[in-house]
């Protein structure tokens, strides 16, 4: 084990990281593209200018998230000021070019408008301990990343993901990784990113496996929806949806406009129920809607996929029907597509659920469980290697297996900042051992292990992550009946 400060020369220049107490190394804030400012603010990512002197890579780089969301998020998500937000972090057991270790590339969540690769929940120490190199990346968010502009390339945030994966292809061997053994993974918006990348032709060959955690892919997501969002932006702000009109605005001004776009209102009719600034099928980078590509097309063919969700992702969201002026619950559920026989099946399935939690359960099913189940079913029909899970261990804080709760188990970081507030004082280490072991197995061998059989049309075997992990045959049949028919 080399005791000196680690130095690696990338294709653009040398970077100096730090060796940690456990012997592993980390390199933080490495630019994979030029800062998206000035004429590059709404442009496709451009490779960084070369440098000759070692770049200090011992502190997290700037984040695209410009203001904290600590009052609404479970995950600690630091905001780091600065222009160079297109940067990534590499955690490695040892920057040995001969090591050839498997690589996990992590894309953070945050609804495509927030989130931070600098979160302590994404530290790669446990993966390094188990022989995996971890890369976490930042990308453009919100208006800068995803609003359709008439004079700029679409899906700029998606282009950032592809550029980061190209950096990994060209550089990760120098950090001890094997560019032919890359698994791309992410949670929430990051899980949606994983599914999106499976449908992006230019991303083919940049990763061999995919891991989608609570993946959020909004529907509908065709070009007409993106243009509707742009028209709504102009109607609400008075500004054209163009790079020329927005390019000189400050971060705060752009965020204020983004807030106005995100407000509820009757003029949002026809748009997805929650998120507006998201990846969409532009006919070019993303040729067709992602879920169509994954369920009826050949997107992701031959790429092993592990995907799943928590049992109560959004159940903690209070129902608008609970307020004195809120609409009746049937109206709310009808807006989510629960009408007629589907509404009756939903009521029967959740007959024992507190009515106050039904709206959140419907959001959980609509946004996460049903789409992922549809993808798993479609892949199983085509005999594509797929593993499905549901995380059911309930937090001592609120009695639910809610959004983000599974991440410190997967990263084996139960002692990280914020975990006790999310999970309670005694989350089971044995469960973290099991979940993390399955992730390491998937990244290393493209198979989570013999105790977790693949998902097939014949068995629909699903891993249930609970105090005692177990597999079950088709435990989500009721969800399929309600939402997929």
pLDDT mean for each 10 residues of the chain (485 residues):
82 98 98 98 98 98 88 88 98 98 98 97 98 98 98 98 99 98 98 98 98 92 94 97 98 96 88 85 97 95 98 90 75 91 94 90 95 98 98 97 98 98 97 98 98 98 98 97 93
The count of structural domains within the chain is: 1
Domain membership of residue 349 (yes or no) is: yes
Strand partners, 308: 213, 389
In 3D, which of 20, 176, 191 has the Cα closest to residue 106? 191
∠373-375-379 over CA atoms, to 5°?
120
The residue written with tokens 């994966």 in the block is 165
User: CATH no. for residue 379?
Assistant: 3.40.50.1820
Output the CA–CA distances (angstroms, integers) from residue 430 to 67, 414, 427, in the order listed. Answer: 36, 11, 9
Cα–Cα distance measured from residue 256 to residue 458, given in angstroms and rounded to the nearest whole number: 51
Please give the pLDDT value at position 324. 67
Domain membership of residue 140 (yes or no) is: yes
Domain membership of residue 246 (yes or no) is: no
Residue 328 DSSP SS3: coil
Please give the pLDDT value at position 457. 98
Please give the pLDDT value at position 96. 98
Output the CA–CA distances (angstroms, integers) from residue 471 to 23, 70, 459, 465, 466, in the order listed. Answer: 36, 35, 11, 9, 10
Domain membership of residue 2 (yes or no) is: no
131 close to 444: Cβ distance less than 8 angstroms: yes
Query: What is the domain extent for residue 33?
Result: 7-218+281-483
Domain membership of residue 41 (yes or no) is: yes
Helix axes 189-198, 156-171, angle to 10 degrees: 70
Catalytic residues: 188, 313, 403
Domain membership of residue 225 (yes or no) is: no
267 close to 235: Cβ distance less than 8 angstroms: yes
Tell me which long-range contacts 465-468 makes (C-beta under 8 A, separation of at least 24): 465/389, 465/390, 465/391, 465/392, 465/393, 465/406, 465/409, 465/431, 465/434, 465/435, 466/392, 466/393, 466/431, 467/393, 467/428, 467/430, 467/431
Domain membership of residue 48 (yes or no) is: yes
In 3D, which of 225, 2, 220, 215 has the Cα closest to residue 99? 2
Model-level pTM? 0.96
CA dihedral of residues 303, 306, 309, 310 (deg, nearest 10)? -170
Per the structure block, which two tokens stand in for 437? 């072991």
Domain membership of residue 170 (yes or no) is: yes
Please give the pLDDT value at position 55. 98
């Amino acid at each position: 084990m080399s005791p000196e400060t680690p130095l690696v020369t990338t294709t653009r220049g040398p970077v100096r990281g730090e060796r940690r107490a456990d012997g592993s190394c980390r390199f933080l804030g490495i630019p994979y593209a030029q800062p998206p400012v000035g004429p590059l603010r709404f442009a496709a990512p451009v490779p960084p200018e070369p440098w000759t002197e070692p770049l200090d890579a011992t502190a997290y780089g700037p984040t695209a998230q410009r203001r904290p969301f600590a009052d609404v998020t479970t995950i600690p998500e630091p905001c780091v000021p600065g222009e160079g937000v297109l940067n990534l972090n590499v955690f490695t057991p040892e920057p040995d070019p001969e090591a050839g270790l498997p690589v996990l590339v992590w894309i953070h969540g945050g609804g495509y408008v927030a989130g931070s690769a600098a979160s302590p929940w994404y530290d790669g120490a446990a993966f390094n301990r188990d022989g995996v190199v971890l890369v976490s990346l930042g990308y453009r968010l919100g208006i800068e990343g995803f609003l359709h502009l008439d004079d700029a390339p679409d899906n700029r945030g998606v282009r950032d993901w592809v550029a980061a994966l190209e950096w990994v292809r060209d550089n990760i061997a120098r950090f001890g990784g094997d560019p032919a053994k890359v698994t791309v993974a992410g949670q929430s918006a990051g899980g949606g990113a994983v599914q999106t990348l499976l449908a992006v032709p230019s991303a083919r060959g940049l990763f061999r496996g995919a891991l989608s955690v609570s993946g959020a892919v909004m529907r509908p997501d065709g070009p007409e929806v993106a243009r509707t969002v742009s028209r709504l932006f102009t109607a609400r702000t008075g500004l054209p949806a163009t790079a020329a009109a927005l390019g000189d605005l400050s971060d705060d001004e752009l965020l204020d406009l983004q807030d106005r776009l995100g407000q509820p209102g009757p003029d949002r009719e026809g748009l997805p129920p929650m998120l507006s600034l998201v990846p969409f099928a532009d006919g070019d980078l993303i040729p067709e809607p992602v879920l169509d590509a994954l369920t009826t097309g050949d997107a992701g063919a031959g790429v092993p996929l592990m995907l799943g969700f928590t049992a109560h992702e959004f159940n903690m969201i209070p129902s608008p029907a609970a307020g004195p002026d809120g609409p009746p619950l049937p109206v709310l559920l009808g807006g989510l597509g629960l009408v007629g026989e589907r509404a009756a099946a939903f009521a029967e399935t959740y007959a024992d659920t507190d009515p106050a939690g039904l709206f959140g359960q419907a959001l959980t099913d609509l946004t996460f469980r049903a789409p992922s189940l549809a993808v798993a079913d479609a892949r199983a029909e085509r005999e594509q290697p797929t593993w499905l899970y549901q995380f059911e261990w309930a937090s001592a804080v609120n009695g639910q297996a809610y959004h983000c709760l599974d991440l410190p188990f997967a990263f084996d970081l139960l002692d990280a900042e914020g975990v006790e507030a999310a999970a309670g004082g005694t989350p089971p280490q044995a469960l973290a051992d099991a979940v993390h072991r399955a992730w390491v197995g998937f990244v290393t061998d493209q198979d989570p292990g013999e105790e977790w059989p693949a998902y097939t049309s014949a068995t629909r075997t699903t891993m249930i992550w609970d105090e005692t992990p177990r597999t079950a045959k088709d435990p989500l049949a009721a969800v399929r009946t309600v939402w997929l028919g």
